[in-house]
Amino acid sequence: MRELIVEADGGSRGNPGPAGYGAVVIDAATGETLAEAAEYLGVATNNVAEYSGLVAGLRAARDLDPTATVRVRMDSKLVVEQMSGRWQIKHPAMRPLAAEARSILPPDRVTYEWIPRAENKHADRLANEAMDAGKRGEQWSPSQSTADLDAGGAARSAAPVKGRGELRDRPQPTRSQTTPRSTPDVRATPEAPGSVAPLEGRGELRDQPQPTRTRTTPVATPDTNDIRAARNVASEAPTTGAAPPDLGTPTTLVLLRHGETPLTPQKRFSGSGGSDPALSDTGRDQADRVATALAARGTVQDVISSPLARCRETAAIVAARLGLDVRIEDGLRETDFGAWEGLTFAEVRERYPDDMSAWLSSPDAEPTGGGESFEAVAHRVAAARDELLAAHTGRTVLLVSHVTPIKTLVRLALGAPPEALFRMELSAASLSVVAYYGDGNASVRLLNDTSALR
């Protein structure tokens, strides 16, 4: 049975903001590009764009060969895990898109694989071309696309391009496009509870015949195809009875909880919706001690911090010792605890007993007054993690964050349920470490280490 590979991606410049997707269908045996699709979506979130790219890629694969098996490769951990059935789909805007994707081909003929963003350049370039076209008020134009050339540029420049005459005699890949459509403004956090307007017009637009165009020049050379085919075959090689594959240097996230603030010893809720306290004298001393320990190890290459003051101050102390700059990542901020900000656990239990009970029993429950649920935080943190891993492949990165984001990163690495958050201790200025490998797996190497403070 023939095997096709679908590589898909989507992006949003604002999340939500102007969005687009790209998808490419590849022959698994030869590495040849068979079809491309791209579309500007109007205003949408990253997740809507990614799912839209998946749907377009699966449709293109089905149109090429409805009997083929399909291997989907995406750099969106969220889409891969949800479509593989390992993560639930709770956001109402995602469910119809996921259902549509599942209906295109029999589920037993489609598998999903996470890949680093660097291996998804072709689809990423198509998505960006679609967004650029939308910004100009135009449709994506297959005849003007350079996505395949851009994605394979490095391989082509390494050796002369051979066999172009023979390639011109082969059938050329199809390019599909659709007219731009308006997509509702969906919340950037993919799984946050709440009512979201249904996506109108998606089915009608996709039911219309999509125009195809044929290029007059080839989109792949033998050199590039050989490399791609070899990569595809290698990713399927059985490991039973053989040494495990060399996954290369992992990307290591060193997770540092900020130092103490005046609220820390009082055990008060202190999230992203509160007073944003600075470090106390004790907290600054803790940050200095951790900085000394990390400098002695000499392994940290980048420093990234939550935007909240206590983290920025902790990160600045450590980064100064390491001779590094600090970059801010909003996805690492603490949970918004709503009306509970500044209160102790006992005070919340007394004032809002029902809300507290619901919060402790369900990851979907929000704190009183419109705070964030654990589920919403998990998806925010996971999205930030994926972006950081793609941008810092093979490096050791210090993330200065808070209790909930750090516990969430550890929980997701372990594949543990949400209630595992209540079974971890995370002290102020403690260090935890998670290593991420090229196949998407993770290894927790350290948790709540406070040895630098002693």
Q: Which of 258, 260, 313, 379 is catalytic?
A: 258
**CA dist., res. 272 & res. 336, Å (int):** 5
Residue 107, token pair as written in the block: 């589920």
Q: Which of 129, 334, 366, 372 is catalytic?
A: 334
Q: Do 450 and 271 meet the contact criterion of CB atoms below 8 Å apart?
A: no
**Catalytic (active site) residue 166:** no
* DSSP label at residue 271: -
**CA distance to 120, 262, 274, 277, 337, per residue, from 268 (Å):** 44, 10, 11, 12, 11
Quick one: which of 285, 265, 289 has its CA closest to 277?
A: 265
* DSSP label at residue 152: T
Residue 5, token pair as written in the block: 């590979």
Q: What is the number of helices (H) and of strands (E) in the chain?
A: 15, 13
**Secondary structure (DSSP) of 37-54:** EEEEEEEE-HHHHHHHHH
**Secondary structure (DSSP) of 190-211:** TT--S------SHHHHHHSPPP
Q: Reduce the DSSP state of residue 316 to 3 states and report it.
A: helix
Contacts of 247 (CB under 8 A, 6+ apart): 437, 438, 439
Q: What is the rounded end-to-end Cα distance, in angstroms, of the chain?
A: 62
**Catalytic (active site) residue 334:** yes
> What's the maximum distance between 2 C-alpha atoms anywhere in the chain?
79
**CA distance to 68, 91, 98, 107, 238, per residue, from 88 (Å):** 27, 9, 11, 17, 29
**CA distance to 216, 269, 454, per residue, from 229 (Å):** 23, 53, 54
The set of catalytic residues is: 258, 334
